Each structure stands twice: as C-alpha cells, then as structure tokens.
Amino acid sequence: MQDTVTTSALLDPSHSSVSTQDKSSTGGHTSSTGPQPSKPSITPVSAKSRNPHPGANFHRMRRIIAEDPEWSLAIVPLLTELCIQHIIRNFQKNPILKQMLPEHQQKVLNHLPPDLPLAVTANLIDNENYWLRCCMQRWPVCHVAHHGGSWKRMFFERHLENLLKHFIPGTTDPAVILDLLPLCRNYVRRVHVDQFLPPVQLPAQLRPGDQSDSGSEGEMEEPTVDHYQLGNLVAGLSHLEELDLVYDVKDCGMNFEWNLFLFTYRDCHSLAAAIKACHTLKIFKLTRSKVDDDKARIIIRSLLDHPVLEELDLSHNLIGDRGARGAAKLLSHSRLRVLNLANNQVRAPGAQSLAHALAHNTNLISLNLRLNCIEDEGGQALAHALQTNKCLTTLHLGGNELSEPTATLLSQVLAINTTLTSINLSCNHIGLDGGKQLLEGMSDNKTLLEFDLRLSDVAQESEYLIGQALYTNREAARQRALNRSHFMSTITANGPENSVG
Amino acid sequence: MNPPGSLAGLDPNLDEHLSTQILAPSVHSDNPQERIQARRLRIAARLEARRREALGEYLDGKKESEEDQSKSYKQKEESRLKLAKLLLCGTELVTNIQVAIDIREIHRRVEEEEIKRQRIEKLENEVKTSQDKFDEITSKWEEGKQKRIPQELWEMLNTQQLHCAGLLEDKNKLISELQQELKTKDDQYVKDLKKQSDDICLLLERMEEQVKNVMKTFREELYNIELEYLTNRMKKVEDYEKQLNRQRIWDCEEYNTIKIKLEQDVQILEQQLQQRKAIYQLNQEKLEYNLQVLKKRDEESTVIKSQQKRKINRLHDILNNLRSKYAKQIKQFQEENQSLTLDYKRLVLQFKELQKAMRHFALIDDEKFREIWLMNEEEAKDLIARAFDVDRIIHTHHLGLPWTAPDFWFLKNVGPISQQPQKSAMQIVEEMLMHTEKEEAEEAASEPESYLDLPKQISEKTTKKILMLLCDESGFLIESKLLSLLLPLEQNECYLLRLDAIFSFTVASQRWMNALHKPSLLLLGAEHPSAAQVRGLFDGMFEQPSCFLPQALGIESEDDLYKLVNFFLKYRAHRLSSSLQIKSCSQASVEKASMEETSMGSELELAEQTEMEGAKEESLVEGEKEEEEETPPSPWDIHPNDVLKILEAFVMGLKKPRDSRAPPRVQKNVRNNSKDSEYWQALTTVIPSSKQNLWDALYTALEKYHIVLTQRAKLLLENSSLEQQNTELQALLQQYLNSKINSELQVPPTQVLRVPTK
C-alpha cells in the first residue's frame, strides 16, 4: 500500500520533469496508442514510435538529435510507463484513475483486466472501451443497439438479467442482487427477464408425485410458489425505463410441472406496487405469463394515471373482456402510445369498450389485437371509433373472425381517415364483396402504407389493386420523407424486422 | 462513393421512413432539448420544402440538369425498386408462415371449441345418466334392506353389483375415452411441436435465405450501380483526357504563335531601343547645351536680383516717407475737420439766430407790411372816399341824380387781406377771463363792447364756470413741473396757464402756437409782467424738443372751445332731460330767466355788431339764440365727477374731424398774397369805367360849362369891376350921398340905382 502511495507521489514530479522533452511527442502519442489498445506496450517500441510527425517540429527534432536523448530512453523505460504498469497491476487494491492526465488514463484503461470486481469499476470507469471488453469476454453475442449503444449499460443490464434469471427464492441470497443495486442503479434503464425460477423445495417434494396429480396439488400450494419480488430492485433503479418480464421457466426438460409456470396473485400485487412506484417507466411488457382478467386488472389499476408510461404489452396471456375493459379505462387515463393485447381472449364486449375509449383518444398510436376473437361486433365498433380518432396509425386485427360488415365500415373509415398508415386484417373472413368494398375505400386514401389481407378470402384481383394503391402511397410518402429529411444525415435502415411486427 | 453510404442511400423504402420517424426527435418528447431540436428540424424541413417548391421538384430538376448522371440515376432507381420489391416479397414470404400458423391456430381453436363443447355435452349427459343409474342403485339399496330372504337378497346384491359394475364400466369407458383423447392430443401436441419446430426451421431458413438474397441483391445492385458509375466515370475520364489533349495541342500552338509574335515584338523593341538611344544621345547634348544656357542665365539673374534688391530698398525708403507724409496729412485733415465742425456749429448757431432774426423780421415785416398796407389802404380809401364824394357831388349836384354808395367787399377791408386767423382758444379764454375780471371790477358798469364776437349762445360766465370746472378736474393733464411754476401766480393767470396746458399740449406745430401766443402775450405783457415771464419759461419749455407731450385735449381754436362748452351743456341737458325732467322744471324756468338776462346782454352786443356787420348775420345769430334758449343747461349743475366722462366723450368725438384738418395748418403762416393784386386792382376800379366816361363827358361838358362860366366869371369880374366901379362910384356917390346920413344915403339913392342893375 505504501508502495503505491509513493509511486503516485512520484508520478507528478516525474511527469513534470519529463514533460519538457516529452511534450513534443505527447500529441502524437495518444493518437497512436488510441487505435491499438491490444498492443503490448513495451517502452522501447513505443518510444521509437513516438515521433510520428518528424516534419512537424523540425527544429526541436534536430536539437534532440544533436543531444541524442532517444538513445538512452530507448534502453530504460520511462518512469511514467513504469508507474502506469504498477497502477494497472494494483488497480483492484488502489484504483487511481481520475487523478491522472487523460492520455495516461487512456493507457491504464486499455490495459485493465476485464474481470475486476464491479465494486471497484462500476462507478469509476466510464470508458466504453473497457466495458466493451468486459461484454465481449462474458457473452459471445452482443447487440449493443438493444441497450442504447452503451456498452456499460449493456454490461449492467445483462449482468442484472443474468442474476435475476438464476435467482431462486429461498435459496439464493437476496443480497446478491441488492448489493449490485448501488453499483448499477445509474446505468440500468431496461430490465428484460424471460424466466423466473420458483422456489426449489416444492419441485423437489413434488418430484415423486404423478404428473396428473401435480395440477391439483399445485393449486393447493399456490401461495408458496412465489417468484422473486421485484419491488426493491425497481425502487432502487433510478433510471429504469423499460420492464420486460416473462414469468416462465426455460429448459425445464423432464422436470416439467404446471407449477413452474404460475404467476401468483402475490407476484401480481408486488409487481403492480413496484411499477406504480416507478415514475420513470416508459415501457412495460408482461408476456406469456398466464395473466388472466383479475391479474390484468390489478396491474392496469396500478398503471392508471402513470406520468410517463407509453407502451403496454400484455400479449400472449389469458386476458378476457374484463381485462380489455380495464385496458380501455387505462387508455383514457394515461398517455399510452402503444397497446399490445395480441393472442388473448378478448371478445366483442372487450373490443367495444376499447373502441369507446379509442374514439376520443389522442395519444394511442398503435393497437394490436391479433389472435383474439372480437368478431364483427367488436370490429364494427372499432371502425366507428376510427371515424373520429385522429391519432392511431397502426392497427392489427389479424385473426379475429371478422367478415364483410366490418370491411364495409372500414372502407368508409379509409376514405375519411388520414392518419392510419398500417392495417392488418389477415386471417379473417372478409370475403369477395368485402375485398371489393375495401378496394373502393382504398381508392380515396392517400396515407395508408400497409394493408395486410392475406388469407382472408379476398379476391386476388382486388388484393393486387390494393397493393398497387399502397405502392403509390408508399412512393408519395417516400418523396415527402425525402423532401423533409433531405438535409438530415442519412439514417441507416434498421433492417426488415420493423415491417414484420 | 463508399459502400455503406450508397447502401444507406439505396435503401429508401418505407422502413427507413418509419425508422427516421422513430429515431428523429419528437415534438412530444419529455426532454426539452429534444423538443427544441425537433422543432428546429421541423422548421428547417419546412423551409427546405418551400425552397424546393420554389425551385421546382428538386429531384426532377436534378434529373434534368445532370444529363450525364441520368443513366446512373436510372440504374439507382431501378435498383431501388427492385430491392423494395424484393424486401416486400421477402417479408411477405417470411410473414406468410406466421399468418399460416395464425390461421391454423384459429382453426384449431374453433375445432377445439367445438370438441370442447361436444365433450362437455357428452360429459353432462354421462353425468345425468350415471346419476340416474346411481339413484336407481341407491333406491334399490333401500329395497334390499327390506328383503328378508337371503336368496333374494343375494340376487338383488348380484344385480346391484352388476349395475355398479356397469356404472363403473361406463365411467371407466369414459375415462379411457378421455385418456385416449388425451393421448391423441399428446400425440397431436408432439406433432404440433414438431410441426412448429419445422415451421420455425422453415422460418429461419427463409429468413436466412431472405437475408442472403437481400445481401446478394444488394451487393449486385451496388455492384451494378458502382459499375454504372465507374463506366460513367471512365467515359468522363476519357472525355476529359481527350479534352486535355486537345487543350494541350491548342496550348502548344498558341504558345508557338505567341512566341513568334513575342520574338517579333522583341525585335521591334530592340529597334526602338536603338532609336531611343540615338534620341537620348541627341537629347543629352541638347540638355547639356541647355544647362550651359541656364547657368549663364542664372548668373544674369543673380545680378538682376541684386539690382532688384537695391531697388526694393529704395522703394522702401520712399514708402516710409510717404507713410509719414500720409500720417501728417491725416493729422492735418483731422485738425481741419475739427475746425470745420466748429465752424459748422457756429454756423448752425448763426443760422438759428438768423432764423430767429428772420422770424423777428418776419414779424416786423408783417407789422410793417400791415402798417404800409394800412397806410396805403388809408390813402386809397381816402382817395376812394374822395372819389365817392366827388361822385356823389357829381351825381347830386351836377346830375341831380340820387347817389347810392357802391357796396364792395374790399371797402370794408381793413388791414392785410390775409384770412382773418381764428383766434386761438387761449386768446378767447384770456379775453374772457380778462373780461370777467373787468366785469367783476366794474360791476354795474355797462357792458363794454365785446370784441369777443363769439359767445353767441353762451354767456361768458357759463363758459368761465365750465372752464374752471374743467381746470379743476383735469389737473392731472398738467405737468407737475408746470404746477410748481404756477403756484406763485394769481388765480386768473393760474387758470389761464392751466387751461392752456390742458387744451393744447404740444400742438403739432409749435411755431404756430407761438405765433398765436405771442400777440396774446403782448396783450397781457403790459399788465402782468410776471405772467409774461412765466409765459416765456413756458415757451422755452415748448421749444425744447424733450417737452413734446401728448396732446391733452387738442383744443386749439375758438371753435373747438365753443364746441366743448356746447358739448358740456348738451350733455348736461341730455342727462337732465332723461333723469330730472320734472324736478328741474322750476329750476329750469329760473335758469331760463337768468339765461335770458345774459342773452339780453349778448343781444345788446349783437345789436351793436349788426350795425357793423349787416342784417344777415343778425338773423342768423338770433336763430341760434333761440336755439340756445331752448336748451336750459346750467353750468352749476354739472357735477365735477361727470367732467371727465364728458371730456372723454368729447375727445373721442373731436378726434376724427381734427385729423383731417391737421396738414393744411402748416401752411398757414405763409401769407397768401394772391388776392392782394386783385384787392388793389379792385380798389382802382371803384369807379367803374362807365362812370368815368360819364365823368369824362361831364368833364367836357363842365369844361365847356366852365369856359362859359369863366367867361361869365370874366364877365362877372367885369361886371363886378364894373359893379365895383359902380359901387365905388356908388360909394363915392353914397359917400357923397350918405356921407352924412347912411340910411338916407343908402336907400333912396341905391334903390334908385339898384333896380336898374338887376
């Protein structure tokens, strides 16, 4: 410890003594070392490569040649180099970073091992390069774009995700996560967890039991299969914006039990309280978690009048009409922009209540009701709502048992509405006449860019003509966008995945 | 032209649009910075759009303007369309799987629902039937309890057992059915799983294929575009090379021609240089010569300079002399000027004296003139009188005709013929005062013949009273200086001077005033030497130009004075008539009487005057007098407070007519002698020529008569001598006769003697 102190004390005077002859080369030094971080820094080599611009400072060069300082320096490494080496070696015990000059900091960061304890590095190092190395070391595939382009954020988010995934209530120490909290609270913005493990004792006891019995027994012991309670974690993360949860167990293999996939009422209540307390949350996703009407209503009630929530995704659950009614209430009591209720059990009454909320809504941009069963009654109600709505741009009604009456109303909507850009009516029973009516409506529309009518019994001819109309609309939109963003920097396309959704 | 850039540019499909919308800062964002950014972008976009509108369609314009680029542009567009189609088809292909699974799932759900419904129905039916059976069995248990016969019981138990077994069998069958179903479901699930995994595999395959395809086509298109660009570029490079070559050749040629031209120029210039050199030589010589000349000239000029300097010195001397002379002369002239001014002053004084003398002489001349005039006139009048006498005698004595004295205006004239000047107001007042004084002095004495011919209507007393009033009330018009001077004087004098001051302070022409004053002074002078002294002071004050004071009332002439008095009275009358008519009736009568008394006096005067002036005027005056009698004002009734008002009204009334009269007054002191000759001429023609003819005739006749008479006288003389002789003889006779007794002698002899002589 004393050793390091002395070196750090030595650092400044040595630097100042060296700087007189060193300054000429420092400018080029950082630039030369920047792009090659992996290069082992042996001082003679770096000293040799120190003068990348011989012509830039000719007089000084000549003087140096005349005095010939390079010769001696080539043999003995610089004191700064030695100090940096030492700092790197002892970083875990005595992290010194902020006190150094920028170029030295850079050097230190380039040579720090990526497996340093997070307690040391988390709040000290902001350098993306270091975190990039950390990520690359831990995970073979890294999509930094999913984490806002920040490697540090990605590291912490994935680290937290990993911990949560493998947290087993009762056995794992909760301190593992709570200790991490002060380190990652400033960097984590998105929590994406696709598995929550149940307590381990129950499966162990139940293992000898019959498969057929397990269902009934699981119901009995439901209160004991609670998962990890997110409340503390969510309250601790001050910049949390997205919460993407799946109450699921992966890779259970032959240990399959129905119990494993339960989303208990206690889980639901604690989750609701957590998201209610989190005022920075913008996106909330709870998918494939067997959320039924009651649980959905509990969660939605906690989201009412949330200040910033923009996206709610409850797809692949068991939500029925009551849950849909709750979502409709949420539409008029929040600033929700995206609502996804795909693959639920919403029927006509639920769709009607949603349509009622949609008629006067000015926030919602996207509504997804894929794979529900709203039928013509719900479809007509939605179409009526769209006649007054001036905000919705994307509507997905695929696989909803819709037929001609809905198409008739929708064609009227198409002629009036100028905000809708994408409609999906695939997997319905629109029929030939419905297709013709939709084509009629489409002829008056200039804004719609996507209209999916696959497998909905529409005549090929009308589908083709609609495709033509869409094509002209798309070209016009492209022209508009080009004109509008001509001066803007060219934006790289995100790939085809947007159009898939 | 880097590949990523072109890729980005070549991928202009809808997704890009969407992504830009998502990535671009939103106006509804929570971050204020982002909002500002978004607004800026929006504004910039609008401006850009407007600009583009102004320029016409930007891309079209580009297409048109860049003909060379059109090919690559076309290629680009083609590639873009192709890729867009590819992407669309690819995504459709990929999503087709999802859609297919969706519809399968829906179908499955529908079927499942149907099956579920059937199963539930079936189960319910089953429950119902089994319940019936179970009820039957339980009822039979009751029956069995009543059975006492073991065989029957056994039988019944057997049947019960059979029934139970049947029921159980049914249940088991159902269970096995359901299990069978479950198994098939399991199988199906496995199948589905397999199918789904297949689907996923297919999906992955397709996606990979798609990615590959897209990559490939993108690469191809990129390659195409690059190729296009490259060929374009090659072509352009070739073009440019050709152009460069051409340019080079052309430059070479040009260079050669220019070189030749320049060489020629150089030659020409060299020639010119030679020429110039020759000229230079010549010029040098010329200049040298000129230099010599100039040097000489310089020498000459130095000589001339010295001469000029000397000359300048001389001239300076002269100038100094002249200056001194000039100064002397100035002094001299100043002295002269002084002396002349003194002379001038003296002359002015002299002139003034002369003027005075002139005035004096003028007065004396006037006097003399008057005297001579009077003398001459007297002489003439004498002569005329004699002539008239003669005429009368002739008429009465000789012709026996009645004689009337001829009536001519000039006969009445006494003194110079100048228009009898109006007496000044002061004179009148003076006279009046004098008069009244005299009156007071000799109270009862008969009224002296008034040479004041004017107080026609108004008695002197009245006038005096009014004037006294005026004098007392309008003392403010008099200068305080004058008042102090007036103090020691006696009352009448005091009044006089005061009135004078009031009436006419600084009349426009002082001299005339003086001229007017002087005679009056002369009149006064003898009696009141002190007053005359004051008057002298007074006049002196007038002469000083500083004493020009505003005219107080401007009353100058006697007319004015009387107007004033009249005005006073009339005003009074007016007042009285309006206010005190009844009251003053008795007073008026008394006043009338007094007025009549006074007017009686004036009547006497008038009577005297009429003797002198004629009957005409008398009648006129009497008419006026009658008028006067009608107005009964009394000066005593005029309240002192009214005086000022009256004065004011009077002055206002008087001002206008007076202004017009002012200018002619100036000429008044020049005597008008136009009528003199006429006058004198008229005097000569007192006796008209007819009369003279008469006289001539008469003269001749008389002469004749005279001759006759002389003869007669002679005869008479003879006669007388004879008579004398006779008488002598008679005397002698008488003596003789009457020597002793006269009577006796006289009568008897004379009688005897006389009768025969007669």
Contact A468, A442 (CB under 8 A): no
pLDDT band for B482, please (50, 70, 90 cuts). Answer: low
Whole-number pLDDT of residue A423 = 92
The region, left, alpha or beta by phi > 0 then psi within -120 to 50, assigned to residue B437 is alpha
Tell me how many helices (H) and strands (E) chain A has.
Answer: 22, 9
Q: Between B605 and B35, where is the model more confident?
A: B35
Tokens of B699: 């003269």
Per CB-CB distance under 8 Å, the chain A contacts of B30 are 308
Whole-number pLDDT of residue B298 = 95
Residue B92 at interface with chain A, using a CB cutoff of 8 Å? yes
* Cβ-defined contact of B14 to A399 (cutoff 8 Å): no
Instruction: Specify the number of domains making up chain A.
Output: 2
Per CB-CB distance under 8 Å, the chain A contacts of B92 are 454
Q: Between A265 and B602, where is the model more confident?
A: A265
* Cβ-defined contact of A371 to B8 (cutoff 8 Å): no
| Whole-angstrom distance, CA of residue B621 vs CA of residue B733 | 77
Per CB-CB distance under 8 Å, the chain A contacts of B12 are 478, 482
* Cβ-defined contact of B20 to A481 (cutoff 8 Å): yes
| Whole-angstrom distance, CA of residue A398 vs CA of residue B28 | 30
Smallest Cα distance from B12 to chain A, Å? 7
Smallest Cα distance from B252 to chain A, Å? 39
| Whole-angstrom distance, CA of residue B416 vs CA of residue B399 | 36
| Whole-angstrom distance, CA of residue B555 vs CA of residue B573 | 22
Question: Is A496 inside a domain boundary?
Answer: no
* Cβ-defined contact of A496 to B48 (cutoff 8 Å): no
Give the model confidence (pLDDT) of B638-656 as tens digits: 566 777 777 777 777 765 5
- pLDDT at B549 > cutoff 50: no
A488 to chain B: closest CA residue:
B41
DSSP state of B749: I
Q: Which residue type sits at B143?
A: E
The SS3 assignment for A281 reads coil
Smallest Cα distance from B149 to chain A, Å? 45
Nearest to residue A401, comparing CAs of A357, A346, A449, A353?
A346
- pLDDT at A443 > cutoff 60: yes
Q: Is the Cα dihedral B371, B373, B375, B377 positive or negative?
A: negative
For chain A, the residues whose C-beta falls within 8 A of a C-beta of chain B are 308, 370-371, 373, 398-399, 401, 426-427, 449-450, 452, 454-455, 474, 477-479, 481-488, 490-496, 498-500
Q: Could you report the predicted ipTM of this complex, rounded to two decimals?
A: 0.73
Whole-number pLDDT of residue B120 = 93
Smallest Cα distance from B119 to chain A, Å? 19
- Count of alpha carbons within 13 angstroms of residue B499, beta-carbon side: 28
Nearest to residue B84, comparing CAs of A475, A481, A463?
A475
| Whole-angstrom distance, CA of residue A8 vs CA of residue A267 | 52
| Whole-angstrom distance, CA of residue B748 vs CA of residue A423 | 211
Nearest to residue A118, comparing CAs of A161, A156, A163?
A156
- pLDDT at B536 > cutoff 80: no
* Cβ-defined contact of B58 to A486 (cutoff 8 Å): yes
pLDDT band for B586, please (50, 70, 90 cuts). Answer: very low
Question: Is A261 inside a domain boundary?
Answer: no
Residue in the block written with tokens 């960061």: A109
Of A108, A142, A176, the residue at which a domain comes to its end is A142
Question: Is A475 inside a domain boundary?
Answer: yes
Nearest to residue B643, comparing CAs of B466, B504, B508, B435?
B466
- Give the lowest-confidence range in A303-317, B451-465, B626-640: B626-640
Whole-number pLDDT of residue B514 = 46
Which DSSP helix (H) or strand (E) runs through A192? strand A190-193
The SS3 assignment for B677 reads helix
Per CB-CB distance under 8 Å, the chain B contacts of A307 are none
Neighbour order of strands in the sheet with A242-245: A190-193, A242-245, A283-286, A311-313, A338-340, A366-368, A394-396, A422-424, A450-452
Strands A190-193 and A394-396 turn out to be unpaired
CA angle in degrees (0–180, nearest 5) for B440-B444-B450:
70
Per CB-CB distance under 8 Å, the chain B contacts of A454 are 92, 95-96, 99
Q: How many CB contacts within 8 angstroms connect chain A with chain B? A: 99
Per CB-CB distance under 8 Å, the chain B contacts of A485 are 20, 24, 45
Contact A108, A100 (CB under 8 A): yes
| Whole-angstrom distance, CA of residue B69 vs CA of residue B75 | 10
- pLDDT at A356 > cutoff 50: yes
φ/ψ of A367, rounded to 5, equals -130, 125
| Whole-angstrom distance, CA of residue A313 vs CA of residue A285 | 4
Per CB-CB distance under 8 Å, the chain B contacts of A478 are 12-14, 17
First vs last C-alpha separation in chain A: 58
Question: Is A95 inside a domain boundary?
Answer: yes
B106 to chain A: closest CA residue:
A399
Question: A interface mutation test: which of B102, B116, B213 has the most A CBs within 10 A?
Answer: B102
DSSP state of A361: -
The SS3 assignment for A430 reads coil
Cβ neighbours for B398, distance < 8 A, ≥ 6 positions apart: B698, B702
Strands A422-424 and A450-452 turn out to be parallel
| Whole-angstrom distance, CA of residue B373 vs CA of residue B418 | 11
Of A123, A142, A161, the residue at which a domain comes to its end is A142
Per CB-CB distance under 8 Å, the chain A contacts of B8 are 490-493
Give the model confidence (pLDDT) of B337-385 as tens digits: 999 999 999 999 999 998 888 888 888 888 888 888 888 888 888 888 8
| Whole-angstrom distance, CA of residue A70 vs CA of residue A111 | 25
Question: B interface mutation test: which of A282, A492, A497, A500 has the most B CBs within 10 A?
Answer: A492
Highest mean pLDDT among B538-542, B580-584, B698-702: B698-702
Residue B677 at interface with chain A, using a CB cutoff of 8 Å? no
Question: Is A324 inside a domain boundary?
Answer: no
Residue B19 at interface with chain A, using a CB cutoff of 8 Å? yes
| Whole-angstrom distance, CA of residue A373 vs CA of residue B186 | 26
Of A87, A119, A142, the residue at which a domain comes to its end is A142
Whole-number pLDDT of residue A314 = 93
Average pLDDT over residues B256-264: 95
pLDDT band for B150, please (50, 70, 90 cuts). Answer: confident
Give the model confidence (pLDDT) of A405-430 as tens digits: 999 999 999 998 899 999 999 889 88
First vs last C-alpha separation in chain B: 197
Residue B182 at interface with chain A, using a CB cutoff of 8 Å? no
| Whole-angstrom distance, CA of residue A276 vs CA of residue A231 | 10
* Cβ-defined contact of B9 to A493 (cutoff 8 Å): no
| Whole-angstrom distance, CA of residue A134 vs CA of residue A152 | 9
Which DSSP helix (H) or strand (E) runs through A283? strand A283-286
Question: Is A481 inside a domain boundary?
Answer: yes
- Give the lowest-confidence range in A354-363, B114-123, B614-623: B614-623
The SS3 assignment for A190 reads strand
Question: Is A122 inside a domain boundary?
Answer: yes
Nearest CB to B17 within list A370, A478, A488: A478
Cβ neighbours for A371, distance < 8 A, ≥ 6 positions apart: A342, A343, A344, A398, A399, A400, B102, B105, B106
| Whole-angstrom distance, CA of residue A59 vs CA of residue A64 | 9
Q: Which residue type sits at B83?
A: L
Nearest to residue B10, comparing CAs of B154, B172, B198, B225?
B225
Cβ neighbours for B644, distance < 8 A, ≥ 6 positions apart: B473, B474
pLDDT band for A323, please (50, 70, 90 cuts). Answer: very high
Highest mean pLDDT among B158-167, B256-265, B616-625: B256-265
Q: Between B351 and B497, where is the model more confident?
A: B351
Average pLDDT over residues B84-106: 88
A501 to chain B: closest CA residue:
B95
Which DSSP helix (H) or strand (E) runs through A243? strand A242-245
CA angle in degrees (0–180, nearest 5) for A140-A143-A145:
160
Measured in whole angstroms, the distance separating CA A211 from the mean position of its chain's CA atoms is: 37
Question: B interface mutation test: which of A402, A426, A450 has the most B CBs within 10 A?
Answer: A426
Cβ neighbours for B148, distance < 8 A, ≥ 6 positions apart: none
| Whole-angstrom distance, CA of residue A171 vs CA of residue A189 | 27
Cβ neighbours for B599, distance < 8 A, ≥ 6 positions apart: B459, B625, B628, B629
Q: What is the mean pLDDT of chain B?
A: 72
B179 to chain A: closest CA residue:
A212
Full residue range of the structural domain in which residue A114 is found: 77-142
| Whole-angstrom distance, CA of residue B60 vs CA of residue B111 | 57
Nearest CB to B91 within list A477, A483, A499: A499
The SS3 assignment for A275 reads helix
φ/ψ of A91, rounded to 5, equals -65, -35
Give the model confidence (pLDDT) of A106-134 as tens digits: 888 888 888 888 888 888 888 888 899 99
Q: Between B19 and A227, where is the model more confident?
A: A227
* Cβ-defined contact of A308 to B30 (cutoff 8 Å): yes
* Cβ-defined contact of A399 to B45 (cutoff 8 Å): no
Q: Could you tell me the CA-to-CA distances from B507 to B126, B473, B514 in Å, in that order?
A: 162, 22, 10
Average pLDDT over residues A213-223: 40
- Give the lowest-confidence range in A6-20, A212-226, B79-93, B264-278: A6-20
Query: Which neighbouring-strand residues pair with A451?
Result: A423
Residue B164 at interface with chain A, using a CB cutoff of 8 Å? no
Smallest Cα distance from A74 to chain B, Å? 41
Question: Is A389 inside a domain boundary?
Answer: no
pLDDT band for B33, please (50, 70, 90 cuts). Answer: confident
- pLDDT at A231 > cutoff 80: yes
Q: What is the mean pLDDT of chain A?
A: 79
DSSP state of A140: S
Q: Is the Cα dihedral B346, B352, B358, B360 positive or negative?
A: negative
Contact A188, A160 (CB under 8 A): yes
Contact A320, A350 (CB under 8 A): yes
The burial of B601, by beta-carbon neighbours within 10 Å (0-12 exposed, 13-18 middle, 19 or more buried), is given as middle
Whole-number pLDDT of residue B5 = 39
- pLDDT at A193 > cutoff 70: yes
Confidence (pTM): 0.51
DSSP string, B443-494: SSSPPPPPS----SSS-HHHHHHHHHHHHHHTGGGS-HHHHHHHTTS-HHHH
Query: Which neighbouring-strand residues pair with A284?
Result: A243, A312
* Cβ-defined contact of A484 to B49 (cutoff 8 Å): yes
